[in-house]
């Protein structure tokens, strides 16, 4: 970087330096890096090289050709530093900038930040959770206590998970050491230069933007993101006012196909209604993720009444529900939907059943279904048997019940197991908060082995008594 500022008799040294660095980059497996298929120990050298090229260009105030660093017009950083953000912002407004169409700022696992279950962190966390099957609860608590002694400011979001999930996530944090947290990074250099590029995708999921969220909203208001097709902004805003401002201007992204705003604060009675007022002007929108926002039932009713007709993916778990919302969803969910994640808490049994029946009767193209917060576990399992039979493309099913003390009657369980056996596409099943007898649980494991399942998720405190060590050896089994 120091040498890049120097000039020779014929040309700035930066050009020669970056030319050599780019040659090294071309020999690396950048395709897997941009596909987010690499573990951290392989991604970090590639990212460090990209950062070094950007820094040399920035330090020399040059206008170098860095297009080969971003072969598909995609920018990807794990735990970006402020210096790298400023260097990227400088490149974005230069005359020789690459044709950026996608920016992904992926936070890393850090003790003081919320959990990150995406990219390499997600893969590592899943792998480590399987390893925890063989670890006792007492041992996992010891791992957590030792970690907290060194990291007393650990995020409450991390501590809200089970001991197994926390212990697995601690491994991710340790693997990410040396990379900055979102609270240590100022990315204003990027957001102040968004108007200089034609973005089609912006992914800042779990990257807390603080004041930069306001800069993002200003860019939307001014029409600088009119070409955007994908906005992934889960857990990024600092206030409900910021989210309301985004919601009021969503129509200024007319090309939007996917909108992810989950886990953000809202203004009850303002944010969701503002979104509903403008979202149908985004005529190409097919993905909406608005989960874990603690929206009141009245807001969810407004959303249910205004679901875009072209929507194929909808995630609205973690919000208040009631019978009025259930009645509306029974009729308003688009029949072409392939991904649905919904909470059924707060519903009467009759509306709970009517909604689930509508799902497996009308939404026969479903590939992913997540039904959370059910207070009627027997009814839930019975409806899922019908879902297996009618939704023949179903690949992933996640059920979360609130009655862990209710054992499944054999008659209901047998119907579910028979339908599960006959399903042809299912590869992942979550039965969280659902208690089975020892015989039922072993039958479930046998079916999963026969089907070569990728994952079966179960809660530890719902495991039946009498299990032997060999019952929990399967690699597909994940215990929370």
* Domain CATH number, residue 417: 3.80.10.10
Alpha carbon distances (Å) from 408 to 102, 382, 404: 48, 10, 10
| 450 shares its domain with 331 | yes
Is residue 392 domain-resident? yes
Is residue 367 domain-resident? yes
Q: Which domain holds residue 30?
A: 3-72+81-92
Question: What distance in Å separates the CA atoms of residue 316 and residue 259, rounded to the nearest whole number?
Answer: 12
Last residue of a domain, one of 128, 158, 175: 175
The answer, as to whether pTM is greater than 0.75, is yes
Last residue of a domain, one of 147, 175, 203: 175
Is residue 440 domain-resident? yes
Tokens linked to 406: 């209710």
pLDDT in tens, the chain (480 residues): 777 776 654 556 778 888 888 888 888 888 888 888 787 778 888 999 999 999 988 888 888 888 889 988 999 998 899 999 999 999 999 888 888 899 999 888 889 888 888 777 887 888 888 888 888 888 988 999 999 999 999 988 899 888 888 999 998 898 888 777 787 789 999 999 999 999 999 999 988 898 999 999 999 999 999 999 999 999 999 999 999 999 999 999 999 999 999 999 999 999 999 999 999 999 999 999 999 999 999 999 999 999 998 999 999 999 999 999 999 999 999 999 999 999 999 999 999 999 999 999 999 999 999 999 999 999 999 999 999 999 999 999 999 999 888 889 999 999 999 999 999 999 999 999 999 999 999 999 999 999 999 999 998 888 998 888 778 888 899 888
pLDDT for res 472: 85
Residue 463 contacts by C-beta under 8 Å, 6 or more apart in sequence?
A: 441, 479
Question: What distance in Å separates the CA atoms of residue 306 and residue 386, rounded to the nearest whole number?
Answer: 28
pLDDT for res 112: 87
Task: Round the CA-based radius of gyration of the chain to a whole number and report it.
Answer: 24
State whether the Cα torsion 418-421-425-430 is positive or negative: positive
Residue 258 contacts by C-beta under 8 Å, 6 or more apart in sequence?
A: 229, 230, 231, 232, 285, 286, 287, 288, 313
**CB burial string 300-309: b at 16+ within 10 A, e below:** bbbbbebbbe
Residue 457 contacts by C-beta under 8 Å, 6 or more apart in sequence?
A: 398, 428, 429, 430, 431, 432, 478, 479, 480
How many residues can be counted in the chain? 480
Is residue 309 domain-resident? no
| 473 shares its domain with 325 | yes
Residue 333 contacts by C-beta under 8 Å, 6 or more apart in sequence?
A: 307, 314, 340, 358, 359, 362, 363
| 63 shares its domain with 165 | no
- Cβ atoms of 129 and 165 closer than 8 Å: yes
| 144 shares its domain with 59 | no
DSSP characters for 8-61?
Answer: -SSSBHHHHHHHHHHHHHHTS-HHHHHTT-S-HHHHHHHHHHHHHHHHHHHHTT
Phi, psi (deg, nearest 5) at residue 108: -100, 165
As for how many domains the chain has, the answer is: 3
* Count of alpha carbons within 13 angstroms of residue 289, beta-carbon side: 17
| 128 shares its domain with 34 | no
Tokens linked to 358: 């509508």
| 20 shares its domain with 165 | no
pLDDT for res 7: 61
pLDDT for res 37: 79
| 34 shares its domain with 165 | no
Question: What distance in Å separates the CA atoms of residue 57 and residue 312, rounded to the nearest whole number?
Answer: 43
User: Which of 470, 474, 467 has the alpha carbon at shortest distance from 448?
Assistant: 474
pLDDT for res 11: 57
pLDDT for res 18: 83
| 56 shares its domain with 166 | no
CA angle 180, 147, 159 (to 5 degrees): 80
| 30 shares its domain with 88 | yes
Is residue 439 domain-resident? yes
| 376 shares its domain with 458 | yes
Is residue 261 domain-resident? no
Going by the DSSP 8-state scheme, the letter that residue 251 receives in this structure is G
Is residue 289 domain-resident? no
| 460 shares its domain with 414 | yes
Is residue 149 domain-resident? yes
End-to-end CA distance of the chain: 47
Phi, psi (deg, nearest 5) at residue 368: -135, 130
pLDDT for res 426: 97
| 443 shares its domain with 336 | yes
């Amino acid at each position: 970087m120091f040498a890049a500022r120097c000039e020779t008799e014929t040309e700035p040294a930066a050009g020669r330096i970056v030319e050599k660095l780019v040659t090294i980059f071309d020999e690396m497996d950048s395709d897997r890096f941009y596909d987010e298929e690499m573990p951290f120990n392989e991604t970090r050298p590639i990212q460090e090289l990209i950062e070094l090229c950007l820094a040399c260009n920035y330090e020399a105030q040059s206008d170098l050709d860095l297009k080969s660093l971003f072969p598909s017009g995609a920018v990807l950083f794990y735990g970006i530093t402020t210096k790298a953000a400023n260097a990227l912002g400088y490149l974005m407004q230069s005359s020789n900038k690459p044709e950026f169409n996608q920016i992904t700022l992926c936070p890393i696992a850090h003790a003081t930040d919320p959990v990150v279950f995406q990219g390499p962190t997600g893969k590592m966390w899943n792998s480590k959770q399987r390893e925890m099957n063989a670890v006792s609860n007492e041992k996992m608590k010891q791992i957590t206590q030792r970690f907290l002694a060194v990291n007393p400011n650990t995020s409450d979001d991390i501590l809200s998970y089970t001991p197994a999930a926390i212990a697995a996530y601690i491994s991710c944090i340790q693997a990410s050491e040396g990379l900055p947290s979102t609270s240590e990074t100022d990315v204003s250099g990027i957001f102040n230069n968004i108007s200089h590029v034609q973005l089609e995708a912006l992914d800042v999921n779990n990257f807390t933007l603080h004041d930069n969220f306001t800069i993002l909203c200003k860019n939307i208001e001014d029409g600088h993101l009119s070409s955007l097709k994908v906005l992934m902004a889960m857990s990024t805003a600092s206030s409900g006012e910021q989210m309301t401002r985004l919601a009021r201007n969503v129509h200024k992204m007319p090309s939007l196909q996917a909108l992810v705003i989950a886990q953000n604060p809202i203004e009850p009675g303002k944010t969701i209604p503002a979104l509903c007022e403008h979202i149908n002007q985004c005529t190409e929108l097919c993905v909406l993720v608005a989960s874990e926002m603690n929206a009141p039932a009245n807001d969810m009713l407004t959303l249910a009444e205004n679901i875009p007709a072209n929507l194929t993916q909808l995630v609205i778990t973690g919000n208040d529900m009631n019978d009025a919302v259930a009645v509306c969803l029974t009729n308003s969910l688009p029949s072409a939907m392939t991904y649905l994640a919904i909470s059924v808490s707060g519903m009467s049994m009759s509306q709970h059943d009517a909604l689930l029946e509508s799902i497996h009767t009308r939404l026969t193209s479903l590939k992913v279904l997540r039904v959370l917060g059910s207070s009627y576990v027997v009814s839930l399992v019975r409806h899922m048997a019908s879902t297996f039979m009618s939704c023949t493309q179903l690949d992933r099913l996640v059920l979360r019940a609130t009655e862990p003390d209710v054992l499944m009657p054999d008659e209901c369980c047998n119907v579910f197991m028979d339908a599960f056996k006959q399903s042809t596409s299912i590869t992942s099943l979550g039965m969280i908060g659902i208690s089975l007898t020892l015989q039922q649980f072993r039958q479930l494991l046998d079916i999963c082995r026969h089907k070569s399942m990728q994952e079966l998720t179960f809660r530890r405190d719902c495991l039946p008594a009498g299990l032997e060590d060999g019952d929990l050896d399967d690699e597909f089994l994940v215990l929370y």
